Structure 1
Amino acid sequence: MQKLENSNNKFLPLLKNYWHLIVLTLIGILSFWFNFYAISKYGYGNEYYAAAIKSMTLSFKNFFFVAFDPAGMVSVDKPPLGLWTQAISVLVFGYHGWAMLLPQALAGTVSCIMVYILTAKYFGRPAGLISSLIFALTPVVVVASRNNTMDMQLIFVLLVATWFLFKSINTGKWRYLFIAALFIGLGFNIKMLQAYTILPAFAIVYLFFAKEKLIKRFAAGIISMIIVVAVSFSWATVVDLYPSSQRPYVDSTSNNSVFELILGHNGLERITGQGTTGGMGGGSGKMGTPPSMNGENGNPPSMPNQNNSNNSTNSNANSNTFNPNNNQNNSNNNQTTNNTQNSSSNNANQSTNGQNNSMGNPPQMQGGQGNNMGTPPEMGKGGGPNGGQQGGGMGSSEIGTASIARLWSTNLYGQISWLLLTAICGIIVFIRKINLKKLTEKQCVLAFWGSWLATMGAFFSFAGFYHRYYLCMMAPEIAVLAGVGIVKMYEEFRLKASWRQFMLPISLVGTMALQFKCVWSYTALRSWLLPIMAVTAIASLVLMAVNYIKPKKIISLVATGFMIVSILAAPFYWSLTPVMYVTNTTMPYADPNLGSQNNMGVPNMPGVSSSKSNTTSNTNTNSTNTKSRTKSKATSKSSGLENYLVSNYTEGSFLVVAQRSNTVAQMIINTGLPAYAYGGFLGSDNSLTLDKLKELVKEGKITYFLISGEGGGNENSEIISYVKQHATLIDPTEYGGTSTKTNTQNSNTNINSTSKSNNTSSTQNTTTNQSNNSTQNNENSQNGQKNQNNQNSGFQGHVGGMSEDSLYLFK
């Protein structure tokens, strides 16, 4: 008994002294679970980067220049440091998808710990723990941590730079400022100019809060900027000075320069939205036909089937739709026959539209390999599943219209803005008269986080182009300011000394109103998530009222606890969706609709595909089944082409040459052989000229050439024309495709058969129920027009979201 008491006496002081470390450890474990659990479902993630990692591990030259292909012909469009980290992870653990994603997952979790460190030192452990928890449960943080884009690595590096900045200001020693500058330069070599978004906050805070004289502050700042620039552009300078003929062509540039990549594709184009990937940014676009993201989302790109419009399924559907006698015949049928035929025609049209218009209804994700764009969540006014604007697509439909209210739209709100109002209230509650001669450490830290938040908020509100996962750059600021604000508002609430005592309930009511608006747009979430949020919020408000009448510390603590639960319930669920399901791996996002967009075999979570009628549900099911069968065929043909090329591969030559990187990415991942995408990611690079093509053909290095039906921005017509004139078109049946001749015959047969059937029906049946027939015919006409539009815009014949391609042989 005595021993037990002694043990308790030792344990209780230990718990009292180190409780914060225990809680922080639990938060870190929770963060890593969100970031890494079931990560194998994502396959290789973004195949563009996965193929580059494969190539980089094959030679040091490829590693240094971040080559996309094993032959080192074209680089990727990103700087090296983040990809080097992934390549090293692969070299240690082997070439696995989880090994590439591990650095991002770790960076997300370590960043979560850094948020605690940067907050607790100045505002106390409770504020640090709350901030750390908020960061861990921010949906876009989980999304970015489960992807092989490098944003979470950048955030970690910038948080380390922030720690050194604060240390420099506190100690008055320049060396810490210079180390901070070094880390910002390293951040530049992870995501280029994105790292510089922290510089305004750095400059403001150092100039106002550093302890040296003003002239010394400027001197230190100038030296720091020299360090930033020197580290930032060190790799770019080496690459540009290196003989261009002996290194990979710099992707997404016109003059083969990293400096152009920095200022153009990864710089001004992000702000203006001009020149971005077709349709993605709302700008003019380089691409022409928007690219299929099939080959970049963890799934094999759909490989050639030779013909652009001769798929038998499409032929049947289109022949029914475009038969000139169809509408006339339908008007002469009896009601039963007419409704049956029109229903069949409509189903065919819907299925055809789903296949042809790949940008409107992207193909369904297949088990375990990335989402193939998924079916974007249907965004209504609130961005939920009630119809209207699509939220999972590209360009303006992904980020909305530039305005000061953009971050409050559901499409972005669900990724980052759940506690944005709480963070703003946290800033307000600290507002007091400032004595410039007696600035405090807390004011310094708040000024930094507020300045960084303002910079990022302005960018994401008005920039012309970005993807939603970029919003993770706002996560540290929101987490710190919200966590600090909650603790401060709690203290003011207990003191009852000024208007600040009301900021806690005001913050809760305002935040919950915005969260309710977002969650309400998802019909099924109203039945379980909204009640959780409402009950905890009401309980918090009631206890606040009780505490106001009869103050007690325990009541105010419980009230604040209920508040934290209520404001974190929705972001917790949103963060869970990319863990349970596979989001788009090229443009990832968190959303309850992810559960209704995949065929993972995972049980449905609450809140998915909620507001649609049974008829719509059945239609979607039929469409999904059709797409699944089509995708299965496309994958089979892709494997057939790859096997064909590998079996005919000659060492020292390219496995195949194609225009766009997503056409060959899966081949590189599977084989490690030198497949050459001369147009790079956008399809517009100038890495291959006609003279160079002729030279490589003559040397026997180019044997097989793949012409993609999906096109590219700057299609080199000279090269394509030369290939078509001087190379032999290979019959697709040799690698599992469908012959042109066979498809054409089948299409003609189907058209003739349908025409005869409709003519016979029109002779035998009489006209009844003209109102119903007219409605059905209008729908047929609309569907037919959609199909016609798809054909005119060049989207016919897509398989799994990609146009069918043609393989040519140089003998």
Structure 2
Amino acid sequence: MTAIPAVQPTGAHRGRRAASRRSGRPEDAPRWERPALATVLVVATLLYGWGIGHAALHPFYGAAIRSMSGSWRAFFFGGLDSSGSITIDKLPGAFWPDAVSVWLFGPHTWAAALPQVVEGVLTVWLLHRIVRAWAGPFAALVAALTLTLTPVTVVLDRATIPDTALTLLLVAAAGALQKAVRTERLLPLITCGIWVGLAFQTKMLQAWLVLPVFAAVYQLAAPGTRLNRALRVLLAGAVALAVSCSWVLIAWVTPAASRPYLDGTSGNDPFALVFGYNGLSRFSSDATAFGAVAGTAASRTTGNTGWDMLINHTVGPQIAWFLPLAALAAVLGVVWRAGQPRTDLLRTGFLMWGGWLAVHTLVFSSSNGNHAYYTAVIAPALAALTGGGLALFRSEYESKYTAVPEAQHEPAQEAGGRRHMALPAAIVLTVAWALVLDWPTRFVSWLLPVAVMLALCGVVGLWTRGPRTSPRMVHGALAAGIAATLVVPAGWAVSSLNPLYAGAATSPMTGPVGKTYGAHHRHAPRGVGLDQPSARDTALLDYLTTHRHGEKYLLATQAAYTAEPLLRAKSEPVLVMGGFTGSTPFPTAQQLGGLVTAHQLRYALLTTQRPTTPATIWVKSHCTRIRPTAYGRRTDGSFALYDCNPQA
């Protein structure tokens, strides 16, 4: 795919190209490209991996990762405990790399978070390659740097949450689609379908949001006849569907007795888990749609919805710094290339990334509620449009000064009317928008004058360029303008290295925003890690281990909320009653009684923080409550331990 041309080749350009051929670099690779990319990747690695040994792992997913690392049954089905009695409420694909890492390196917090860091850095590198093939090295570097410094990307890429893997796989799918359009080969299009199917294993239906965009882009821009393009799209779609549903079909044909109970479902149905609990219930007023159980406040966050979702005072500083620039680039990239052939590759890129951004914005705005970190999936689209847009604007800007004059004494004529004004205008727009996003909190207000001064230097330098202006002066002005757009979001991104400004383990976000910031501001947040039990949990584990006499399960807990710290501390079979929400109908009271009678279970830990179920009623009526001092607590608080030994 050709790059956006900035200037016409001159003798100096031809000499550099010849030198590039002799040195083995790509013909259009400038000397600064490799060192600049290496620097960006080092910065990404440092930002994403900072404090990885004390990363705040998601408590629910962290517990499952430790369990999955020690049992093949738990690994394949996503079992919450090592016995694989019940699964997590998601597909397990996103956590397989984390579980493998813990299996290889041991139950360390850094081992669980390491794959997330790797996935984040790979996403930056892959986006650079894709944007470079589309819009050239300048656009690729800007895109990679923009993605690296996006606040939600920085805070998410050291958390055990599926969105990091989802983003990487969808970026890979976009690269395969771009190659399919460019080469007219079928294999890259099939590969695109495979990547989307693998992305489905990480976040289910959200992975399919790009499919309408990808299908439309290929149908509109790929070479070949209309019928041939349509048949290829259908074939790639069938591949994506087959790969997407592979785990669901395996779970469906596996007898219920041979696999864990599927959390989030009322009937142990894998299709209800994917299309109900994690699908229709996100958009329906009926929380139990399609066989799903009702969600909790943690799984169905309120707020962060509606048409202003991406720019509200909580979500906006996480993702929206380049939203106006990206929207402007998408529109002008299509409009300015309107006269080009149908297969124009530059326009195709703007359509693909712009469609990615538009579809996700529409879905997030109409769903029941979103965690701020959900928006990480649109960061590559914003970054690509930012890089591609600035490269396009730079090309139009340069064309004003490189057009051949009619006479030697006349200034060069503008090649595109007032198009050259788009570059300085984009810088001003982006910096002004940064002021708007930061203003409610004034969190990095000391950086705002820096951004304004850099923008003034850049815009004035670009605006006052004359025929005899040194190229270095122009390049310096452009660099100052780009730095101006990055400095404020970079301040928010770097703030997340301080745990105070990294949000909660269950909902990472940067800066002084979100419901958890107030609590963190009053009390220093404690990281959620593996093999790091508190004194209270250690005392409970010691008591249960001492009084265990051959039972399969260490204990039963009411919902995952009570089991999570014990599962992260020690890989033991724990019967999690009710799953994540506490409302999943497993086990039944009859099943629970059978386990107690068969001496497979003795203790049960209940909590007042989750709803009462038939199983918890059975515990209260058939088991004896243990005094809290017996297992190292002064009072029960919201917990109560019961002994269900028939001889007790």
Q: Do the structures match in fold with TM over 0.5? A: yes
Checking the alignment, whether the CA contact within 8 Å between 2:577 and 2:615 is kept in structure 1 is no
Q: 2:198 aligns with which of 171, 186, 195?
A: 186
SS of the aligned residue for 2:642 comes to: strand
After superposition, where does 1:619-658 map in structure 2 within 5 Å? Answer: 624=523, 635-658=534-557
User: 2:50 is matched with which residue?
Assistant: 37
Checking the alignment, whether the CA contact within 8 Å between 1:452 and 1:477 is kept in structure 2 is yes
Structure 1 runs of 4+ off > 6 angstroms? 12-16
**Partner amino acid, structure 2, of 1:123:** A
SS of the aligned residue for 1:687 comes to: coil
Which has the larger Rg?
A: 1
Q: Does 1:671 align with 2:591?
A: no
Q: Does 1:736 align with 2:632?
A: yes
Checking the alignment, whether the CA contact within 8 Å between 1:425 and 1:503 is kept in structure 2 is no
Q: Does 1:488 align with 2:392?
A: yes
What count of residue pairs does the alignment treat as equivalent?
597
**Residue deviations 1:289-316 (CA, integer Å, cap 9, x gap):** x56x9xxxxxxxxxxxxxxxxxxxxxxx
SS of the aligned residue for 2:444 comes to: helix
User: 1:532 is matched with which residue?
Assistant: 450
After superposition, where does 1:249-264 map in structure 2 within 5 Å? Answer: 249-264=261-276
Q: Does 1:155 align with 2:167?
A: yes
After superposition, where does 1:755-794 map in structure 2 within 5 Å? Answer: none
CA distance in structure 2 between the aligned counterparts of 1:488 and 1:93, rounded to whole angstroms: 46
Structure 1 stretches of 5 or more lacking a match? 1-8, 278-283, 294-393, 601-608, 610-619, 629-633, 741-796, 798-802
Structure-1-length-normalised TM-score: 0.69
1:433 to 1:31, Cα distance in 2 relative to 1, 3 A: closer
**Partner amino acid, structure 1, of 2:640:** D
**Partner amino acid, structure 2, of 1:69:** D
User: 1:368 is matched with which residue?
Assistant: none
Checking the alignment, whether the CA contact within 8 Å between 1:104 and 1:150 is kept in structure 2 is no
Structure-2-length-normalised TM-score: 0.86
CA distance in structure 2 between the aligned counterparts of 1:639 and 1:664, rounded to whole angstroms: 13
User: 2:486 is matched with which residue?
Assistant: 568
SS of the aligned residue for 2:608 comes to: coil
**Partner amino acid, structure 1, of 2:367:** A
After superposition, where does 1:435-454 map in structure 2 within 5 Å? Answer: 435=339, 437-454=341-358
Q: Shift of the alpha carbon at 1:287? A: 5.4
Q: 1:86 aligns with which of 83, 90, 98?
A: 98
After superposition, where does 1:264-413 map in structure 2 within 5 Å? Answer: 264-272=276-284, 275=287, 286=294, 290=297, 395-397=301-303, 399=304, 401-403=305-307, 405-413=308-316
User: 1:590 is matched with which residue?
Assistant: 510
Q: Does 1:498 align with 2:417?
A: yes
Checking the alignment, whether the CA contact within 8 Å between 1:202 and 1:448 is kept in structure 2 is yes
Q: Is the deviation greater in 461-470 or in 699-708?
A: 461-470
**Residue deviations 1:70-99 (CA, integer Å, cap 9, x gap):** 121101122222211111112222221111
CA distance in structure 2 between the aligned counterparts of 1:662 and 1:276, rounded to whole angstroms: 21
CA distance in structure 1 between the aligned counterparts of 2:173 and 2:147, rounded to whole angstroms: 18
Q: 1:558 aligns with which of 476, 483, 495?
A: 476
**Residue deviations 1:495-522 (CA, integer Å, cap 9, x gap):** 2432322222322222222211222223
CA distance in structure 1 between the aligned counterparts of 2:339 and 2:431, rounded to whole angstroms: 35
CA distance in structure 1 between the aligned counterparts of 2:282 and 2:387, rounded to whole angstroms: 31
SS of the aligned residue for 1:688 comes to: coil
Q: Shift of the alpha carbon at 1:255? A: 0.9
Checking the alignment, whether the CA contact within 8 Å between 2:54 and 2:110 is kept in structure 1 is no
**Partner amino acid, structure 1, of 2:366:** F
Checking the alignment, whether the CA contact within 8 Å between 2:102 and 2:111 is kept in structure 1 is yes
Checking the alignment, whether the CA contact within 8 Å between 2:128 and 2:143 is kept in structure 1 is yes
Q: Percent identity?
A: 27
Checking the alignment, whether the CA contact within 8 Å between 1:270 and 1:466 is kept in structure 2 is no
Checking the alignment, whether the CA contact within 8 Å between 2:551 and 2:601 is kept in structure 1 is no
**Partner amino acid, structure 1, of 2:331:** I
**Partner amino acid, structure 1, of 2:71:** S
Determine which structure has greater relative contact order: mean sequence separation of CA pairs < 8 Å that are 6+ residues apart, divided by chain length. Answer: 1
Q: 1:141 aligns with which of 153, 159, 171?
A: 153
CA distance in structure 2 between the aligned counterparts of 1:677 and 1:650, rounded to whole angstroms: 20
Q: Does 1:507 align with 2:403?
A: no
Q: Shift of the alpha carbon at 1:20? A: 0.7
Q: Shift of the alpha carbon at 1:650? A: 2.5
After superposition, where does 1:118-267 map in structure 2 within 5 Å? Answer: 118-267=130-279
**Partner amino acid, structure 2, of 1:395:** T
**Partner amino acid, structure 2, of 1:725:** S
CA distance in structure 2 between the aligned counterparts of 1:440 and 1:730, rounded to whole angstroms: 73
CA distance in structure 2 between the aligned counterparts of 1:247 and 1:683, rounded to whole angstroms: 20
Checking the alignment, whether the CA contact within 8 Å between 1:429 and 1:488 is kept in structure 2 is no
**Partner amino acid, structure 2, of 1:511:** T
Q: Does 1:24 align with 2:32?
A: no
CA distance in structure 2 between the aligned counterparts of 1:286 and 1:664, rounded to whole angstroms: 20
Q: Shift of the alpha carbon at 1:442? A: 1.0
SS of the aligned residue for 2:107 comes to: coil
Q: 2:439 aligns with which of 515, 520, 524?
A: 520
Q: Shift of the alpha carbon at 1:40? A: 1.4
**Residue deviations 1:250-269 (CA, integer Å, cap 9, x gap):** 01111111110111121122
CA distance in structure 1 between the aligned counterparts of 2:288 and 2:381, rounded to whole angstroms: 28
**Partner amino acid, structure 2, of 1:147:** A
CA distance in structure 2 between the aligned counterparts of 1:523 and 1:111, rounded to whole angstroms: 30
CA distance in structure 1 between the aligned counterparts of 2:421 and 2:288, rounded to whole angstroms: 47
Checking the alignment, whether the CA contact within 8 Å between 2:58 and 2:506 is kept in structure 1 is yes
Q: 1:545 aligns with which of 454, 457, 463?
A: 463
User: 1:425 is matched with which residue?
Assistant: 328
CA distance in structure 2 between the aligned counterparts of 1:31 and 1:524, rounded to whole angstroms: 22
CA distance in structure 1 between the aligned counterparts of 2:80 and 2:231, rounded to whole angstroms: 42
User: 1:681 is matched with which residue?
Assistant: 580
**Partner amino acid, structure 1, of 2:549:** T
User: 1:727 is matched with which residue?
Assistant: 623
Q: Shift of the alpha carbon at 1:552? A: 5.0
Checking the alignment, whether the CA contact within 8 Å between 2:116 and 2:160 is kept in structure 1 is yes
Q: Shift of the alpha carbon at 1:592? A: 4.5
**Partner amino acid, structure 1, of 2:418:** W
Q: Shift of the alpha carbon at 1:568? A: 0.5
Q: Shift of the alpha carbon at 1:709? A: 1.2
**Residue deviations 1:394-428 (CA, integer Å, cap 9, x gap):** 8335x2x412x321222111111101111122223
Checking the alignment, whether the CA contact within 8 Å between 2:169 and 2:198 is kept in structure 1 is yes
Q: 1:105 aligns with which of 97, 108, 117?
A: 117
**Partner amino acid, structure 1, of 2:553:** F
Q: Is the deviation greater in 495-504 or in 29-38?
A: 495-504
**Partner amino acid, structure 2, of 1:479:** A
Q: Shift of the alpha carbon at 1:454? A: 0.9
1:530 to 1:434, Cα distance in 2 relative to 1, 3 A: closer
CA distance in structure 1 between the aligned counterparts of 2:231 and 2:23, rounded to whole angstroms: 49
